Chain A
Amino acid sequence: MEVEVRLPTVLRQHANGAAVVKVDAANIGEVLSELASKYPGMSGQLLTESGELHKFVNVYLNDDDVRYLDKLDTKLNDGDTISILPAVAGGSD
Chain B
Amino acid sequence: MAIRYRFFQQWQVAVTDIALQSSKIASSILDLIGNTPIVDISELSPNPKASIFIKLEGQNPGGSIKDRVALSMIETAEREGLLTRGSTLIEPSSGNTGIGMALICRVKGYKLKVVMPPNVSKERRELLEIWGAEIIDSPDGEGSNGAVKLARKIASDHPDWVFLYQYANQANPKAHFENTGPEILRDLPNITHFVAGLGTSGTLIGVGSYLKQEKPEVQIWAVEPPAGEVVDGLRSLDDGYIPPIFIENNGPLLLDRKTVVGPRDSIIWTKKLAEVGIFAGISTGAALSGAIKCANSIDTGVILIISPDAGWKYLSSEIWTLSIDEAVERTKSTIYF
Contact = CB atoms under 8 A, between A and B. Distances in A.
Interface of A: 8-11, 45, 54-57, 60, 63-65, 67-68, 83, 85-93
Interface string B77-102: 00000000000000001111100000
B200 to A, nearest CB: 5
B94 A64 contact: no
Given A55-B242, A85-B226, A91 B234 contact: no
Nearest to B281: A92
B227 A85 contact: yes
B127 to A, nearest CB: 12
Nearest to B97: A93
Contact of B257 (A10, A55, A68, A86): A68
B95 A88 contact: no
The 10 closest A-B pairs by CB, nearest first: A91-B199, A56-B240, A65-B258, A87-B240, A89-B144, A93-B199, A86-B240, A92-B95, A89-B241, A63-B260
A88 B309 CA distance: 22
A64 B231 contact: no
Nearest to A8: B231
A68 B240 contact: no
Contacts, number: 118
Nearest to A60: B260
Nearest to A64: B259
Interface string B235-246: 111111111000
Given A87-B242, A88-B230, A10 B236 contact: yes
Contacts of B234: 8-10, 86, 88
A68 B337 contact: no
A89 B145 contact: yes
B199 A92 contact: yes
B59 interface: no
A91 B144 contact: yes
Given A10-B231, A63-B259, A63-B260, A89 B226 contact: no
Interface residues of B, number: 50
Nearest to B257: A68
A89 B260 CA distance: 14
B230 A90 contact: yes
Interface string B146-159: 01100000000000
B235 A10 contact: yes
A93 B235 contact: no
Which of B95, B148, B167, B259 is most buried by chain A, counting CB atoms within 10 A of its CB? B259
A75 B66 CA distance: 38
Contacts of A64: 257-260
Interface string B52-68: 00000000000010100
5 contacts: A56-B237, A56-B238, A88-B231, A91-B198, A93-B66
A63 to B, nearest CB: 5
Nearest to B283: A92
Contact of A92 (B227, B242, B260, B337): B337
A89 B258 contact: no
Nearest to B225: A90
Nearest to B246: A87
A39 B114 CA distance: 42
B129 interface: no
Contacts of B236: 10, 45
Given A55-B242, A93-B166, A88 B143 contact: yes
B206 interface: no
Contacts of A45: 236-237
Of B226, B227, B261, most A-chain CB atoms within 10 Å: B227
Contact of B237 (A60, A86, A90): A86
B224 interface: yes
